[in-house]
Amino acid sequence: MSASPHRITSSNDLPVRLGRFIIREELGRGSLGIVYLAHDPVIDRLVAIKTLRPRLGHTERQLYEEQFINEARAAGQLSHANIVVIHDIGSEGSTPFMAMEYLHGREISKMLEDGERFTPDDVASIGWKIADALDHAHQHGVVHRDVKPANIFLVDDHQPKIMDFGIARIPNRLSETPAKGEATPTLFHDNLLGTPHYMSPEQANGQAVDPRTDIYSLGAVMFEMLTGHKPFEASDTEKLLQQITSRRMLAPHKLASDVPLALSRIVSKAMHRDPEKRYQRAAEMALDIKRHLTLARREQRRLPTDEETSAIVETRRPALLWPLIGLACAAAMIVYARWPMLGR
């Protein structure tokens, strides 16, 4: 979400202000919500304002208003450098809105869509920070449940930020089950919460989840960043969910030869079908990634060992030997040519 400040404008779709926040411009919109760039005159800073589209049906509006409150409650409990900051939540008339940290950069999903490739070191660096942020959330009783490339924003200095805690499981979460007799929105298809490609097997089965579901989802995100492919692909959601719950995942290094074996094993462990065989805490995953990254960078910087230096000298010796032999022969010929004169 990046944009340069503009003069305040007003149109049928662009409100002048929401609460105390003065709207500058629209940053983007989806089927359910709109994000604006706004100015906070009290703190004198730019913020991103997230709000619902005005023409949602009653059931959808009620559901997503609850998500707004849940997101504010979840993110509001957390304070971490890699989690987006929620500044305020309120309403203007019947329109709820949320004021968030204004970020310069792009979602990882858009970068992947544009064909951008991440180096293994990039993926490791981003992965350990997200794992550390998830561990912070888990310690506060918050399970994100929708970790995916679209919910990870990469700011200009390559620092990741987790966003959108709308379906997070928190201790004081509002009901996530539609009222009896109401239509079930797509989000709750077959009583599932989340995004199918990044769901853990237990989430895909509609079972109760714990922090290990976020660990699986982070592994799936890293898998896609490393290989350029999603872990599982299918023609429809039902087949995709079957693959997630029953099919064995191919290790990342077998799809992309530049993926280090150690990093591939970390991703594979995070994505194990059996939650008991995954990392049990996101902090454990973060620690393994940091160790890998430290060793990889040390390997890149280190000086050659004595054995490696000797091998280099041995390799170069034949190339240096022939000029020396040539010089020796030339000297011998000169001495031989002058030998009669020296004998006189």
The span from the CA of 33 to the CA of 46, in Å, is 19
The span from the CA of 222 to the CA of 120, in Å, is 9
Q: Considering 146, 164, 214, 288, which one is annotated as catalytic? A: 146
The span from the CA of 267 to the CA of 279, in Å, is 10
Q: How many CA atoms lie within 13 A of 125 on its CB side?
A: 12
Q: For residue 145, which of 99, 202, 66, 226 has the smallest C-alpha distance? A: 202
Q: Compute CA 35 distance to the chain's CA centroid, rounded to the nearest angstrom.
A: 21
Q: Which two tokens stand for residue 89?
A: 């939540």
Q: Is 146 a catalytic residue?
A: yes
Look-up of token digits 């023409």: 55
The conformation of residue 235, written as its DSSP 8-state character, comes to S
Using the CB atoms, write b or e for 171-208: b if 16+ within 10 Å: eebeebeeeeeeeeeebeeeebbbbbbbbbbbbbeeee
Which residues partner with 17 through β-bridges? 22
Which residues partner with 209 through β-bridges? none
The conformation of residue 190, written as its DSSP 8-state character, comes to G
The span from the CA of 224 to the CA of 222, in Å, is 5
The span from the CA of 256 to the CA of 338, in Å, is 68
What 3-state DSSP class applies to 299? helix
Q: Which two tokens stand for residue 34?
A: 């709109």
| C-beta of residue 92 within 8 angstroms of C-beta of residue 68 | no
The conformation of residue 168, written as its DSSP 8-state character, comes to -
The set of catalytic residues is 146
